[in-house]
Homo-oligomer: A and B are copies of this chain.
Amino acid sequence: MNLSQLELLRIMQESDFNLSKAAEKMHIVQSAVSRQLQMLERELGSPLFERRGKKLLGMTPLGARIMEEVAVIHCAKKNIQTLALDFLDCNQGVLHIATTHTQAKYFLPVPIHRFKEKYPGVKIYMVQASPEQLIDQLHSRKADIAICTEKVDEDANLVVKNCYEWGHAAIMPKGHPLCEGEITLARLASYPILTYNLGFTGRSNIENAFNNVGLSIDITLAATDTDVIKTYVRWGMGVGLIASMAFEPLAETDLVIRDLSHLISRSVTKVAYLKNHYLPQYSQHFIDGLLLAAQEMQA
């Protein structure tokens, strides 16, 4: 057994159990892959791949169980490499951030800008995705850290740190009836609603607030990002329910914002990373910077 054979197992899984694809990713020829897998199976004494004829279809139960250990080994191996690079030059490297639209646009610009000034040698890659996808990205080590509000607490393999707390707000065009008088859930529910997609930016809290008092809302439009919501609110399609930090008073003088903190329970945006995944020092500093920026924002 050796590391490249185990790596091969991983690649095979990522390549639909197709030898040719796996070979390409490993930069060797197909026959070499075939041989290595056979040798590994012979060494372990049992087949690891389910086959029909010669075609590989998937892992056997044994193979699947072994893949868990392979994942552990892969992670540790990567850690060793990161560790060594970090030790060589802790001001150089790559940082993969996975986050949602709201965080990328309304929270991250300041901390990322500061970080870039301090660590010009670190390349930042940002991926934007849904909360579920973010977590997948962490697990597949495509992202080093994820910043989001939802889903992240449920995973025991993640280290999760609270960043900042925020609430929702309603936005509407100037002159809309809701601009005046006390805002209630009932009044809100009487208008068409524009808000985030399921699983995004505290959408579940919005849902719950109305459900808890037996109101149902008519969601005319659901989007992953606030800008789309604003656009359609401007077109008079209804009332927008957005994260309050996603409203920029200076730029959006045609809209009115009304706070809903007393009606919809507040959310917490968190930063998360894999427990077993070694983060280079600059990444740890980046997280520190996030927490600091979050504190400043709260104050």
Q: Which residues of A contact B (CB under 8 A)?
A: 1-4, 44-46, 62, 65-66, 69-70, 72-73, 76-77, 79-81, 83-85, 87-88, 276, 278
- Chain B residue at smallest Cβ distance from A278: B69
Closest Cβ of chain B to A26, distance in Å, is 15
- Contact of B88 with A80 in the complex, beta carbons under 8 Å: no
- Contact of B2 with A2 in the complex, beta carbons under 8 Å: yes
Question: Which of B66, B77, B88 meets A45, CB within 8 Å?
Answer: B88
- Closest 9 interchain pairs by CB? A44-B84, A69-B76, A72-B76, A62-B87, A73-B76, A69-B79, A45-B88, A69-B80, A73-B73
Contacts of A69 in B (CB 8 A): 76-77, 79-80, 83, 278
- Contact of B3 with A84 in the complex, beta carbons under 8 Å: no
Closest Cβ of chain B to A120, distance in Å, is 21
- Contact of A44 with B80 in the complex, beta carbons under 8 Å: yes
Closest Cβ of chain B to A256, distance in Å, is 53
Question: Which of B1, B4, B72, B83 meets A66, CB within 8 Å?
Answer: B83
Closest Cβ of chain B to A43, distance in Å, is 8
Contacts of A73 in B (CB 8 A): 72-73, 76-77
